[in-house]
Structure 1
Amino acid sequence: MRADVVRFALPDPGDVSGLRQAIDTGRIDPKTIVAVIGKTHGNGLVNDYTRGYLTLSLALLIAEKTGDTPEAVRARVPFVFSGGVEGVLSPHYSVFTAVADETPDSGGKSLAIGVAFTPDFHPHDIGRQRQIDLTAAAVEHAMAAAKIDRADVHFVQTKGPAFTLAEIIADRYAGTPPVTDNPGKLMSYGRAGSALGVAKALGESAGLEAPVLNDFSQFSSVASCSAGVEVRGNEVIVIGMSSAWSGPLAIAHAAMNDALDTAGIYRALADLGLPASPQVSAADAKRLRAGFVKCEASRDGKIRGRGHTMLNDGDIDPQRHIRAAVGAVVASVVNDTALFVSGGAEHQGPDGGGMIALIAERNA
């Protein structure tokens, strides 16, 4: 198999003209699309419907070009979108394709991708053992399908459901109370449960319910988890390296220990042979195909000993603060603003920090 990744600008959440042109010119065969990950213009919270708008727009386009129904497209292609492009970040989406390669490269490993879906969840499943276990099973399925070994997994993106207050209360009245009645807080539980599911699949954690939002020493080093009202179950995308795949692309990841950890960015770049002194050159930046970052406003209210106000701002959600800050830090090093920077890093990388994963063309 051979993977490719193509990024497209997103002028508005319904503008999929970039992919349409790529399909019409033969750059992308729509039947080979296996996943799409992107950043939309919304706030990234429960009431962010830009994610669903882009999902619908892309599903309709791919259905038009393949002859499938939009429902069939959504059943096989994970569409993982995160709202919030604060500061210098640019709205965009990355299209992942996989094709059979009859002349695979000899030796070595190349970018590989596997996808899977869990069954649907109810509000009372979120942050609990069922979500953890089913997410772990989906990750294992995606790894096996793509022939990616545990040690070669560099990035796992999940998208799970968010629920409105009416849905949460209905579940409570049905006798199955969720862990919280707060829709925003339930999103946090969902990201946390998904992350510990990834950690369980990769042997990083026992994958038990008790640590969810309690023991932040347990985390996945490669998980990036989001939640939104546009999905009902967890959509899972596993990206790594595999000798069963070919092509010029590679992926690397590193921990970011806090919002200012440029050393983590440099480590990921170095693993891909992308020098940055102190910034990736314009020429080398063209080799970058996609960048993914998880970040978190540190819970102790401090960054390197000095206080921050992100957790107590009544006007701006902490996720919006941290996306803008970390987005600027990472963009300034990699010389690219079309980055998937996502807040809410519960159990995703070190507490108070997060992780970075980069996909790039290898240096010829």
Structure 2
Amino acid sequence: MPTPRRAALHRVPMRHPGDTAAIEHLITTGRLDPSGIVAILGKTEGNGCVNDFTRAYAVQSLTLMLARHMGVEAAARVALVMSGGTEGGLSPHFLVFTVEAGDAPNPAGALAIGTGFTRDFAPEEIGRPAQAEAVATAVHQAMEAAAITEVHYVQVKCPLLTTERIATAGASVATEDTYASMGLSRGASALGVALALGEVDAVLPEDIGRNWKRFSAVASASAGVELERCEVIVLGNSTAWSGDLAIAHAVMQDAIDLPAVHRAMRLAGLPAEDGQLAPAAAERLVAVLAKAEPSSTGRIRGQRHIMWDDSDINATRHARALVGGVIAGAVGRTDIFVSGGAEHQGPDGGGPVAVIARRALPV
């Protein structure tokens, strides 16, 4: 029988997108074994759009830091997912996921982590079914390697189109609008997750970026200029893993669906009430991950919003600030991972929200 694995998660602040000092401090003080790092998620303070180089800056800094502590080849196997945009009160931070040898498996199930990578995509494949199918394969591989059968959150970092990439395409591309390519790439990735998990039976070209009735309830995709492949992180619970961490999720039906946030907290074992999480329970909260997207109808529960009509501030930036405020009010902290652009990631105007928490000790 294989040795049980144990997942751990460290949440650390960043002073700027290239600041890896908090992670290095964990390593040098012996609290973090770099050989066990499998993925790092980061919320950086850029604009989250095509020219948000805070993502690439953070990836470069993390890659160099990891190479110093674990070697170049091992560092290349760590999934690095940077999500730009900390509008409103959101706090820039890193989430460092590690896997180590565990003890007896938890019969109730414990947090399990699987990672996977697709091949590099040709420009003409981005935002199209070929990308979705490759993501589905990577999700299956990650689930199998980690013995995950109960999936609660799948994070995908995906590429986008730039004018330079479009110029090198061997065929027509999905769009020549570089910003629109972010949404198509996120959408194709999310539908790839849905395909892997049986939420859809196929991904058609006309679905991507158009048919909002087709979505995944657990997918989170973020597009960036810093890569040409997709990097996949599957988070779930598994009875083959040990430890006291668990993950649960719910689906926000719109941007102000506070009850869904409370539901995810309760499913993760936190005694969430109608108000803010109590301090004692907040100590067991490890991470919150969510998607944010302005509804395509221009309305939230019948009331008009102007997120799509603001020519000064991108719509996804509005959405991150709004959803971030709703979740922060529920959990009592602002270092939460809220990613904008939720095409096919939850229903139109809504999105998945996942909570990772430590189980309560028996009384």
Same fold (TM over 0.5): yes
> What SS does the corresponding residue of 2:145 show, helix, strand or coil?
helix
**CA positional deviation for 1:268:** 0.3
Partner of 1:53: 57
Partner of 2:151: 153
**CA positional deviation for 1:74:** 4.7
Q: In the TM superposition, what are the counterparts of 1:186-225 in structure 2 within 5 Å?
A: 186-209=181-204, 210-225=206-221
Partner of 1:112: 112
Match of 2:257 among 258, 261, 264: 261
Q: Which structure 1 residue ranges, 4+ long, deviate > 4 Å from structure 2? A: none
**CA positional deviation for 1:211:** 1.0
Q: In the TM superposition, what are the counterparts of 1:313-352 in structure 2 within 5 Å?
A: 313-352=310-349
**CA positional deviation for 1:336:** 1.4
> What SS does the corresponding residue of 1:59 show, helix, strand or coil?
helix
Q: In the TM superposition, what are the counterparts of 1:101-180 in structure 2 within 5 Å?
A: 101=102, 103-105=103-105, 107-149=107-149, 152-171=150-169, 174=170, 176-180=171-175
State how far apart, in whole Å, the 1-side matches of 2:14 and 2:321 are. 18
Q: Is the 1:132–1:207 contact (alpha carbons within 8 Å) kept by the matching residues of 2?
A: no
Structure 1 gap segments, 5+ residues each: none
Q: Is the 2:253–2:349 contact (alpha carbons within 8 Å) kept by the matching residues of 1?
A: yes
**CA positional deviation for 1:167:** 1.8
**CA positional deviation for 1:170:** 3.2
Residue by residue, what CA displacement relative to the aligned partner does 1:183-221 show, whole Å, maximum 9, x if unpaired?
A: 010110000000000000000002312311121111000
User: Cα 1:106–1:34, aligned 2, differ >3 Å: closer, same or farther?
Assistant: closer
State how far apart, in whole Å, the 1-side matches of 2:106 and 2:26 are. 29
**CA positional deviation for 1:169:** 3.2
Partner of 1:227: 223
**CA positional deviation for 1:177:** 1.1
Partner of 1:11: 15
Q: Is the 2:126–2:161 contact (alpha carbons within 8 Å) kept by the matching residues of 1?
A: no
Q: Does 1:360 align with 2:343?
A: no
**CA positional deviation for 1:105:** 3.7
Q: Does 1:302 align with 2:299?
A: yes
User: Cα 1:236–1:106, aligned 2, differ >3 Å: closer, same or farther?
Assistant: closer
User: Cα 1:335–1:184, aligned 2, differ >3 Å: closer, same or farther?
Assistant: same
2:352 is aligned with what amino acid? M
% of aligned pairs identical? 49
User: Cα 1:73–1:49, aligned 2, differ >3 Å: closer, same or farther?
Assistant: farther
> What SS does the corresponding residue of 1:47 show, helix, strand or coil?
coil
State how far apart, in whole Å, the 1-side matches of 2:312 and 2:208 are. 27
1:196 is aligned with what amino acid? L
Residue by residue, what CA displacement relative to the aligned partner does 1:134-175 show, whole Å, maximum 9, x if unpaired?
A: 0000000000000001xx10000000112212321332xx4x
> What SS does the corresponding residue of 1:331 show, helix, strand or coil?
helix
Moved more, 270-279 or 235-244: 270-279
> What SS does the corresponding residue of 2:189 show, helix, strand or coil?
helix
Q: Does 1:240 align with 2:243?
A: no
State how far apart, in whole Å, the 2-side matches of 1:124 and 1:144 are. 30
Q: Is the 1:59–1:73 contact (alpha carbons within 8 Å) kept by the matching residues of 2?
A: no
**CA positional deviation for 1:38:** 1.2
TM-score normalised by L of structure 1:
0.96
Residue by residue, what CA displacement relative to the aligned partner does 1:285-321 show, whole Å, maximum 9, x if unpaired?
A: 1211111110110000000001000001111000000
2:277 is aligned with what amino acid? V
> What SS does the corresponding residue of 2:308 show, helix, strand or coil?
helix
> What SS does the corresponding residue of 1:300 show, helix, strand or coil?
coil
Q: Does 1:30 align with 2:25?
A: no
> What SS does the corresponding residue of 2:165 show, helix, strand or coil?
helix
The alignment covers a number of residue pairs equal to: 355
**CA positional deviation for 1:107:** 2.0
**CA positional deviation for 1:73:** 3.9
TM-score normalised by L of structure 2:
0.96
> What SS does the corresponding residue of 1:154 show, helix, strand or coil?
strand
CA RMSD of aligned residues (A): 1.1
State how far apart, in whole Å, the 1-side matches of 2:75 and 2:308 are. 36
